Amino acid sequence: DENKIKNTMGCGKSSAAGAATPSGKPSVVFVLGGPGSGKGTQCAKIVDEFKYAHLSTGDLLREESKKGGELGDKLKKTMEAGELVSSAMLVELLKKAMKDRGWEKSKFLLDGFPRNQENIDEWEKQIGKEADIKFILHIDVSKDVMKERLLKRGEESGRADDNEETILKRFETFEKESLPIIQFYEKKKLVRKVDSSKPVDEVYAEV
């Protein structure tokens, strides 16, 4: 497994995120962090200032689930349970979204991905060396703050998973499946962690 993760990082650690990829491959920053930590908020600010395409896998899944049908219903149920959807379909969606935005020479912020080992394996299978992963941006804040933010967001988001019961399940999933992924990348010195407990603009200054 260690090698599998390592293989997704086929890039020079020293290259700047903003630099064009000489290979013409898209360059990718994975934006990770717990639910409600502020990933989407910070990505939006990065996009305002820099030429990145922002893709939130959660947003892609919500869009897909709205289409209904068997797949849509299944996605909806999984998301309402605070669990992770199957990776093959998710990475297919993600790759298609990346292609739609323009594949070559693009810079992507992939928000909320990868969330577990299966996500990484599937990335490797479907994308692998076709993209250069630059680093992982970890938006970090305590569970108490995340919960407060999610409950507040839930007042207006219309998201079926921004309720207390699902929030707790999402935290469980995050701790069990996603934190180990961040910790692994940390050991590889590929994580740039930002304290997200401060006001949005202060967090962004650090980002």
Among 26, 36, 82, 114, binds ligand ADP (CB under 6 A): 36
Q: Where are the beta strands (DSSP E) in the chain?
A: 27-32, 53-56, 107-111, 132-140, 191-195
Binding mask 162-191 for ligand C5P (x = CB under 6 A): --------x---------------------
Q: Which of residues 62-81 bind ligand C5P (CB under 6 A)?
A: 78-79
Using DSSP, state whether 173 is helix, strand or coil. helix
Q: State yes or no: residue 196 binds ligand ADP (CB under 6 A).
A: yes
32 with 136: CB under 8 angstroms? yes
CA dihedral 162, 94, 86, 183 (to 10 degrees): -70
Which listed option, Mg ion, ligand C5P, ligand ADP, none, makes contact with residue 41 (CB within 5 to 8 Å by class)? ligand ADP
Contact 145, 197 (CB under 8 A): yes
38: left (phi over 0), alpha (psi -120 to 50) or beta: left
Asked whether position 154 contacts ligand ADP by CB under 6 A, the answer is no
Residue 39 in contact with ligand ADP, rule: CB under 6 A: yes
Binding residues for ligand C5P, rule CB under 6 A, total: 18
Structure tokens at 126: 């479907």
Residue 38 DSSP label: S
Give me the amino acid identity at 135.
F
Counting contacts by CB under 6 A, is residue 35 touching ligand ADP?
yes
Residue number closest to Mg ion, CB atom: 40
Residue 84: phi, psi to the nearest 5?
Answer: -100, 140
Q: Report in angstroms how near the CB of residue 38 gets to Mg ion at its nearest.
A: 8
Task: Write out the binding residues for ligand ADP, residues 70-89 only, by CB under 6 A.
Answer: none
Distance from C-alpha of 167 to C-alpha of 86, rounded to nearest angstrom: 20
What track of x and - describes contact with Mg ion for positions 35 through 54 (by CB under 5 A)? Answer: -----x--------------
Contact residues for Mg ion, defined by CB under 5 A: 40
Contact residues for ligand ADP, defined by CB under 6 A: 33, 35-41, 149, 152-153, 196, 199-200, 203
Contact residues for ligand C5P, defined by CB under 6 A: 35, 56-58, 61, 78-79, 82-85, 90, 112-113, 115, 119, 161, 170
